[in-house]
Amino acid sequence: MGATGYYIHSDCKLHNMGAGHPECPERIDAIEDRLLITGVADALDRRTPGEANLAEIKLAHRRLHIAAIRGMSDWLEEDDVAAGSSQHFSLDTDTSMNSKTYRAALLAAGAAVEATDAVLAGELENAFCCVRPPGHHACGNRAMGFCFFNNVAIAAKYAVARHGLERVAIIDFDVHHGNGTEDIVAGDERILMLSYFQHPFYPEDWPLRHDDNLVNVPVPAYTKGMDIRELVDAMWIPRLDEFKPQLIFISAGFDAHREDDMGQLGLVEADYQWMTQRIKDVAKRHCEGRIVSCLEGGYNLSSLARSVEAHLRVLADV
């Protein structure tokens, strides 16, 4: 049985968007504590990623967007020295950065890229990237929704551009629409993106695209786990079996949990466990079990940690 990689870097916790922000460094601590207490950590191949390089980031993002994030990070670093404390810059009402954000974002993307390399090389059967900032709202030329670089989209583009894969799937089960991923991969027939998300919800007024390589499943608030399971079986699994992916990426957001106030869906840990197993079954049928999963949302620390544990128990067969 192949190993499950677990990619994490302590510098991802240095990115901070200010006191009281839900996308906080404590999210990583909560996951780490839960995996340690339950013993799941012992079953994982723990790895420390390096930074993604500029060429890899450019597979999904415009040069000016990358330069803006880097330039702002440099400016904030100078401002930190002058002020004697960490400064923040708001990109929009939800998203701000400090001087450590650029490196954290490079490490998050680097984890996804390195996990892709390791899984395709057969070193690992699958992998989970316990990283922040998250990525699925980051568009080709815009940071938004707590996201700066789109980790999964970068890795998917990397898989087709550098490894020559012809069919890659992205599955997004965050409570929010992965509009940034959609912006980057829409129309690319090598990449099939499947998602469900609460609708209408963030991002407000974002038009849903209907390209052939997108399977958008908007659901109303208060949708429960059993309804989601029916949608997965009816709309995701047949399309995945038809597509026959050579590698599956997961944008693993756990904010659809019923305890998470960020959304109004009603999933529990058992639903994430079931969904992960269904995805794993598809991966076993078509791509030797190859899965790269990256953390997205999940803001109630307790339900986040328990849901990641459930997700990893399936990936690692523990």
Just list the catalytic residues.
137
Is-contact 151 161, C-beta < 8 A? Answer: no
Is-contact 317 268, C-beta < 8 A? Answer: no
Amino acid in position 60: A
Residue 80: CB atoms within 10 Å:
15
Q: 169 - beta bridge partners?
A: 192, 248
Is-contact 49 61, C-beta < 8 A? Answer: no
Helix (H, G, I), strand (E, B) or coil at 178: coil
C-alpha of 247 from chain center? 15
- Which tokens in the block code for residue 232? 């997965």
How far apart are the C-alpha atoms of 225 and 214, rounded to whole Å? 22
Q: 249 - beta bridge partners?
A: 170, 292
Phi–psi pair at 198, nearest 5 degrees: -65, 135
Residue 1: CB atoms within 10 Å:
7
Q: Which residues contact 214 (CB under 8 A, 6 or more apart)?
A: 182, 186, 193
| Cis ω before 49 (30° cut-off from 0) | no
Amino acid in position 43: A
